[in-house]
Amino acid sequence: MGNSAQGNGPLAGLRVLEIEALGPVPFGGMLLADLGADVVKVMRPGEPGGPRPHLPADLPTQGQQILDRGKRTLTVDLKDNDGRALVRTLASHADVLLEGFRPGVAERLGIGPDICLQAHPSLVYGRMTGWGQSGPLAGTAGHDITYLAASGVLGALGRQGCPPPVPLNLLGDFGGGALYLVIGVLAARQHVLRGGPGQVVDAAVVDGVTHLSTMIFGMYAAGEWRAEPGTNLLDSGCPFYDVYETSDRRHMAVGALEPKFYWEFVRLLGVAHAVPRHRDPSVWDEMRRVFTNAFRRRSQREWAAIFAGTDACVSPVATLPEVTTSSRAATRDTVISVDDVPQPAPAPRFSGTPCAVPRSATPLGSWAAQLIAEWVEET
């Protein structure tokens, strides 16, 4: 790869063409860019720096801009013959293409996998949807929360007697969606590097989220998981794996599952004498009352000091502003600043091919003669 590569991470030299979409696709492209890939994002026409006509007017633009870090962007009208021809040309020199259209849309635009793979048989064509490319719901709209609901995962969350909580869009869009898209295209690319042909990667949020819950499925099959939420070990049913309010109406998270961690926890909480039979579910209601009353006697700051540096598996529940300034984040550089905007650092970390701090997206303009020349020359 020449000087067009965006970084020196382990994916330096990988050319990725990303077609503009919401949620999982831009995060997947960002992750690849963080790891050193040369990611070029095709943007559809709209006001510079503002929302495009096909996106919600109230979309958080700063969040979208962070997802574009490390990428180069160009504006292409996919309804125009020349625009579609440009995308096909770029795809013929890319290693990976990412798109998030509903099934059939890319084909109608003339940039579907059949035509792209015919021109470039080693291309990995990554498709990201909520319901998948096939099935009774494939053509219908949805969002993170509806995919979680259909997968059964949303119904497994929450406290007993309460509606399931809304777990942001991390579990579906990014965990079950983008990460599986990235794993899929990298696996397919490895197949190409070993002499195989390119192929289509069908990544669906419902598939990924369901796969993420493999351990829970196993516990259910073994009779170790009840269908009613809030009654199990990891869903707030267990009092030593839960969240408690402090005197200042902040919270502490407790994850003291193993006996050695549990006994350290109750010792520091000052209630070891009151809850001796911690593995007996029949005493868990009383145990929860003991823990609740104890935590309400001190502020979050006081409890954080008491549990700091111990193996009690207790942590203060931090806010996002606190995380950007915490000593733990600063020590690991977990949160960095790009263009004065705090954001997560690239992850994971590599000893031999460290990832560079990402830069903001760089516009290339409406047409990409320079980009085409780079990719054609380096193919």
* pLDDT confidence of residue 62: 63
Sheet holding 241-245, edge to edge: 241-245, 251-255, 314-316
Residue 245, phi then psi, degrees to nearest 5: -85, 145
User: Using one digit for the tens of pLDDT, what is the confidence trace for 283-312?
Assistant: 999 999 999 999 999 999 999 999 999 999
Dist. CA 182–CA 127, nearest whole Å: 10
Q: Which of 162, 108, 174, 114 is nearest to 139 (CA)?
A: 108
**CA 174 → CA 48, 102, 206, distances in Å?**
26, 18, 12
Residue 278 · residue 258 · CB < 8 Å:
no
Q: Which of 41, 36, 37, 4 is nearest to 19 (CA)?
A: 41
Q: How open is the CA angle 250-254-259, to the nearest 5 degrees?
A: 160
Active site residues: 143, 173
Residue 359 CB partners (closer than 8 Å, separation 6+)? 6, 69, 70, 338
Cβ burial of 245 (10 Å; 0-12, 13-18, 19+) is middle
Helical (H) or strand (E) element with 202: strand 199-204
Domain 15-212+346-378 homologous superfamily, CATH: Crotonobetainyl-coa:carnitine coa-transferase; domain 1 (3.40.50.10540)
What are the sequence ranges of the domains in the chain? 15-212+346-378, 241-319
CATH architecture of the domain formed by 241-319: 2-Layer Sandwich (3.30)
* pLDDT confidence of residue 362: 86
Q: Which of 24, 61, 46, 59 is nearest to 361 (CA)?
A: 61
Both tokens of 345, joined, read: 């650092």
User: Using one digit for the tens of pLDDT, what is the confidence trace for 325-363?
Assistant: 877 666 788 998 888 888 999 999 999 999 988 788 888
Residue 34 · residue 70 · CB < 8 Å:
yes
Residue 371 · residue 40 · CB < 8 Å:
yes
User: Using one digit for the tens of pLDDT, what is the confidence trace for 166-225?
Assistant: 999 999 999 999 999 999 999 999 999 999 999 999 999 999 999 999 999 999 999 999
* pLDDT confidence of residue 4: 45
